[in-house]
Amino acid sequence: MASTKRIIIGLGNPGIEYEGTRHNVGFEVIEAIGAKIGETFKTKAQSRIAWGKWKGRPLGLAMPQTFMNRSGLAVEELVRKNQLDTFNILVIVDDINLPPGKIRIREKGGTGGHNGLDDIIDWLDSDAFPRLRIGIGNDFNRGGQASYVLEPFSDDERKLIDPVIGSARDAALSFVTNGITVTMNGFNT
């Protein structure tokens, strides 16, 4: 089992104009993991990707460059090209249904209204893949969701989000070494 390849995929939108936005928190976690394991990213096909090892296990880190709502193409490509079962990927996304600073890890499930997850489920033809959701809150007026997720965190929110980036990084690395059940038990808040 020690050689099981895993890929951690953070969702977001490519481009400097989206850096630091609520929707790009998945990218922030992937960058934090890359910094911790000392890997750099290269653009390959539909994703920015880095390959390395964590505690002797092969690990891919990916940030799809297909924009959030079209993430499925890049994820399907990563799964297919690397001949992975879906339970060996972990998708990291923002979640408006969780308060800022909370994380929730699940082995599989629905989209919770998240268009990026919806597209991945369509492309994989399955909802049976682990996901880590990071709460970004839902402090927006009716019809304002699209603007809200594309805005940067407020200073007060950033104080809650920065520590959770580290927790999400550690949870993702736990997934690599310990699997999903141990990770859910240890990190769900």
Query: Which domains, and CATH codes, for the chain?
Result: 6-187 (3.40.50.1470)
The predicted structure's pLDDT at residue 73? 95
| Residue ranges, the chain, pLDDT below 50 | 1-2
Question: pTM (2 decimals)?
Answer: 0.93
What pLDDT, on the 0 to 100 scale, is given for residue 27?
Answer: 97
For the record, the structure tokens of 13 come out as: 């939108």
Is 114 a known active-site residue? no
Question: Catalytic residue among 22, 23, 114, 131, which?
Answer: 23
Nearest-CA neighbor of 189 among 173, 169, 168, 175?
168
Rg (CA), the chain: 15
**Cα–Cα distance for residue pair 30/24, rounded to 1 Å:** 10
Predicted confidence (pLDDT) per residue in 123-165, tens digit? 999 999 999 999 998 888 888 888 889 999 989 989 999 999 9
Between CA 111 and CA 173 the distance in angstroms is: 23
